[in-house]
Amino acid sequence: MNATRQFLLAGVALLACATPSLAHAQTPEEAEPQARVSDSAGEIVVTARRREETAQDVPIAISVVGGDQIDNTGSFNVGRLQQLTPTLQFYTTNPRNSAVNIRGIGAPFGLTNDGIEQGVGIYVDDVYYSRVASATFDFLDVAQIEVLRGPQGTLYGKNTTAGAINITTNQPTFDFEGKAEVSIGNLDFKQAKAAISGPLSDTLAARIAVSATDRRGTIYNVTTDRWIQSQDNIGLRGQLLWRPTDNLDITLTGDWNRQAAVCCGSVFVRTGTTQRPLNRQYAALAAAQGYTVVSTNPYDRLTDLDANLNAGNEIGGAALRIKWDVGPGTLTSITAWRYWDWQPENDRDFTGLPIVTKSQNPSQQDQYTQELRYNYTGDRFDFVVGGFAYYQRIDTQGTESHGPASSRWTLNPGNVPAGSSGCGPSVTNQLACTPSVLNGLTAINTQYLKNTSPALYGQLSWKVTDSLTIQPGVRLNYDKKDGFYQRKVFAGDGTPVVFGPTDPVTTARLSVFAPQEISPSFSDWNFSYDLTLTYKVAQDLLLYATYAKTFKSGGINQNGVPTDAQNNPILDAATVKPESVQHFEAGLKSEFWDRRATFNLAAFRTDIKNYQANVNNGQFGVLRGYLANAGKVRTQGVEADFTVQPSERFNAYVSGAYTDAKYVQFVDAPCPPELSGGTTAGAGQTPGAPGVPGALSPANCDISGQRLPGVSKWAFSFGAEVNLPSSLFDQDGQFYLGYDGSYRSDFSSNPSPSDYTWIEGYSLSNFRAGFRTDEGFNVYAWVRNAFDEDYLEQLSVGPGNTGLIVGVPGDPRTYGLTLAGRF
């Protein structure tokens, strides 16, 4: 794979260098246009409502990022895209455990559970990508990205209660064209992209694109003498367009993407006192085994994780899209198959001790979708009506093992004085001091999910007058999920560990890994609808208001469920109810100063009943997390976008959002670490104060009124570019200087807010300066995180209620040079 990547990097570099001479092979007028921006009015054309229209005419809060802006700002995946769109949040500890949220909602914060849907739909050329792991890959030959905020279920065939990311790639052309780009930078950064398109015959055109990214990691592992959190991505996309008549396009697309990064790890951030006995908290446990963390400063970017790390991630698929202008409208069919292959290895104890020596849950997914829709645009009525069918199968095989340090770290030796070794004469003390009790203890997990979901949807736009439009939409959806989960447990000598024997060793092992087998299933019908009123006050001023009643599909727990006193699975917890969503939004879209300036404003409120939340268990492997329904959450706020281009020499933008997202009612939530780890308070007993060692702990906590995780109250994106006409090496063009910045205020990095897991607000600044020609040649230097801001992307609570807090620091300052060209 390294040889292939290096070959592609070198090949694209040569193509990029050759591009200036090729740029004159064809004039811009001869090429079929691929841009989504009208030269005459500077209007941005979008397909948010499944038809082409200008962004300012769409009554949706929408952020549009063009392909050039993606390249110029280094936003080559969804994680970086969030710096340009303030209400988009992306969180990841590895590709599988990733989540995309909009306005604070979309997916539970924490470990991913395959048994539920994402609330933010990701679509590439009309194809639904069900696994959010796809968001970690590089964008490949992208023309434009639309981030649609708010429910979109009546136009998009799968759950989009929080919004959608609609990605459009460049399509095959019947005129020859191409582009190439190569970048180098510090941290051994190398990136190359190329695409070429043209005719194979009068009716057949093809396009092929390739992308490769390679970068050294940003965290150094002293145990393995390797940099981790690296980037090692490669992607290919090929398209064939057959146009037998002027009113029929048939496009066949195939793509393949692979990541082979040394990933994913964390660094020590801090410890916080829990309610565990003091001798069972992190400092005492580490001292008892003579362990000292490599660094207590997370920005030293040092770790000592001792388990194997891997994040092998591969996706691909094929799609057949047919667009037929038939009758007064257009009939579109999209048939697609996608697969996902996930090969992880993790260190789940977050330390350099051999506590959890193996944690891996490889998964394989196959997904099939079929969408059929008809679009009509008339003088008084526009409509879209369609059907969508979806089938998904996921198979997962898990292996988790403990090592020789686990007994001492994991098992509670009983009441011993703080500072003592904990190896007294009692049975529980001796178990904790006998490595063989847990050394080699292994859980083998087998699970699968079958997910079937057909839907019918439609949306009508009735132009009552030239100014007033009424737009109702409906969707009828059926969901069926069938799952299987089995965990078998074996001692280090291979002996099965089962319930029944009551000897202390078996009891100790079962407290870490418990066998379980369940076959959860869920099915339900749902009907959702929305209504939007649009009023055009003037040619360049649009007002709109929307009400939506929608849902997110129910789900099943694919990672096991809690057990009762007899160790039987609590089957009532095997399924989670659908989220019921009510959404209100009002906004305006305006242009002024001869359309040199644009100002858009949106105010929203979303109420969700039966919010699907992750409930986490404090033990290592008994049950790390499962899904449950919180009573109610609410997110509300205001968003504003302003752009201005007073002349061809200068443009600027600023986007901002205030988001107030909180749990309205969640009375039985998991407790934060400062209220965990002690003996559970019984009837008539009062839990102790937070962070008091040895205090009683509540069974659960009421976090009603507290902020949802991952949401900053304030978020901004801003930037500007200035250029000056000039020439370089006898080529006419312009020198330019650009800046892009972002800011977000503090946010919680734990499902239940904790004093230990708030991430401070931070601001990032990116600069670029270069020279470009009208023919498409562009060379520029760039620096990202220019002021080397220290910030954390995410914090995680270590297992076992020991008080350990680890995190992932954001990228340091990076800089480099990019050479690009078009022909």
CA distance 168 to 308: 37
| Distance spanning both ends of the chain, measured CA to CA | 29
Nearest to 35 by CA among 66, 9, 5, 57: 66
CA distance 237 to 211: 9
pLDDT of residue 425: 60
Q: What are phi and psi of 519, to 5 degrees?
A: -130, 75
Does the pLDDT of residue 394 top 70, yes or no? yes
pLDDT greater at residue 280 or residue 734: 734
Distance of CA 265 to the CA centre of its chain: 17
**Interacting residues of 75 by C-beta distance below 8 A, sequence separation 6+:** 65, 69, 81, 83, 84, 139
Residue 248's DSSP bridge partners are 245, 324
Q: What are phi and psi of 22, to 5 degrees?
A: -80, -15
Does the pLDDT of residue 14 top 50, yes or no? no
- In this structure, the number of other CB atoms found within 10 A of the CB of residue 454 comes to 16
pLDDT of residue 271: 97
CA distance 323 to 357: 53
Query: Domain spanning 2-403+440-822 has what CATH number?
Result: 2.40.170.20
**Per the omega criterion (within 30 degrees of 0), is the bond before 263 cis?**
no
pLDDT digits (tens, 9 = 90+) for 186-199: 999 999 999 999 99
DSSP character at residue 379: S
Mean confidence (pLDDT) of the chain: 89
Contact 306, 312 (CB under 8 A): no
Does the pLDDT of residue 292 top 60, yes or no? yes
pLDDT greater at residue 419 or residue 462: 462
pLDDT of residue 128: 93
Does the pLDDT of residue 12 top 60, yes or no? no
Averaged pLDDT, 404-409 = 93
In 3-state terms, the chain is what percent helix, strand and coil (to 5)? 10, 50, 35
CA distance 81 to 581: 26
- Tell me the pLDDT band of 18, cut-offs 50, 70 and 90: very low
Lowest mean pLDDT among 47-61, 329-343, 360-374: 47-61
pLDDT digits (tens, 9 = 90+) for 675-729: 999 999 988 899 999 999 999 999 889 999 999 999 999 999 999 999 999 999 8
CA distance 147 to 714: 18
CA distance 71 to 32: 21
Does the pLDDT of residue 428 top 70, yes or no? no
CA distance 78 to 181: 20
CA distance 355 to 560: 22
CA distance 137 to 264: 15
State both tokens at 93.
């500890």
| CA dihedral sign, ordered 274, 279, 280, 282 | positive
According to the per-residue pLDDT averaged within each range, which of 249-253, 274-278, 311-315, 432-436 is highest? 249-253
pLDDT digits (tens, 9 = 90+) for 137-175: 888 999 999 999 999 888 876 768 899 999 999 999 999
CA distance 75 to 167: 13
Contact 369, 424 (CB under 8 A): no
pLDDT of residue 117: 84
DSSP secondary structure letters along 196-223: EEEESSSSEEEEEEEEEEEE--SEEETT
Percent of the chain with pLDDT over 70: 91
Does the pLDDT of residue 63 top 60, yes or no? yes
pLDDT of residue 38: 37
Looking only at the bridges linking them, the beta strands covering 363-377 and 381-402 are antiparallel
pLDDT of residue 423: 63
CA distance 102 to 164: 9
What is the C-alpha R_g of the chain?
28
Does the pLDDT of residue 84 top 80, yes or no? yes
CA distance 129 to 593: 40
CA distance 726 to 737: 13
Residue 177 is which amino acid?
Answer: E
Percent of the chain with pLDDT over 90: 72
- Tell me the pLDDT band of 33, cut-offs 50, 70 and 90: very low
Does the pLDDT of residue 3 top 60, yes or no? no
pLDDT of residue 7: 41
Looking only at the bridges linking them, the beta strands covering 381-402 and 356-360 are antiparallel
CA distances from 388 to 131, 368, 452, 523 (A): 18, 11, 11, 17
State both tokens at 473.
């939409």
Lowest mean pLDDT among 61-70, 336-345, 637-646: 61-70
Nearest to 823 by CA among 15, 225, 109: 15
Nearest to 697 by CA among 146, 288, 277, 349: 277
Contact 685, 721 (CB under 8 A): no
Model-wide pTM > 0.85: yes
CA distance 813 to 186: 9
Torsion of CA 415, 417, 419, 424, to 10 degrees: -60
DSSP secondary structure letters along 582-648: EEEEEEEEEEETTTTEEEEEEEEEEEEEEEEEEEE-SSSSS-SEEEEEEEEEEEEEEEEEEEEEEET
Q: Map tokens 């095989």 to a residue.
A: 397
Q: Map tokens 């292994």 to a residue.
A: 442
Contact 15, 8 (CB under 8 A): no
- Tell me the pLDDT band of 616, cut-offs 50, 70 and 90: low
Averaged pLDDT, 280-294 = 94
Nearest to 120 by CA among 134, 138, 141: 134
**Per the omega criterion (within 30 degrees of 0), is the bond before 423 cis?**
no
Contact 49, 155 (CB under 8 A): yes
pLDDT of residue 426: 61
**Interacting residues of 778 by C-beta distance below 8 A, sequence separation 6+:** 770, 771, 772, 818, 819, 820, 821
Contact 673, 754 (CB under 8 A): yes
Domain residues of the chain, as ranges? 2-403+440-822
Averaged pLDDT, 98-117 = 81
Nearest to 55 by CA among 126, 149, 160, 173: 149
Does the pLDDT of residue 29 top 60, yes or no? no
pLDDT of residue 547: 98
Contact 516, 483 (CB under 8 A): no
CA distance 753 to 666: 12
| CA dihedral sign, ordered 126, 127, 130, 135 | negative
Averaged pLDDT, 461-489 = 96
CA distance 721 to 698: 55
- Tell me the pLDDT band of 4, cut-offs 50, 70 and 90: very low
Contact 164, 192 (CB under 8 A): no
Residue 817's DSSP bridge partners are 184, 781
DSSP secondary structure letters along 232-262: EEEEEEEEEEEEEETTEEEEEEEEEEEE---
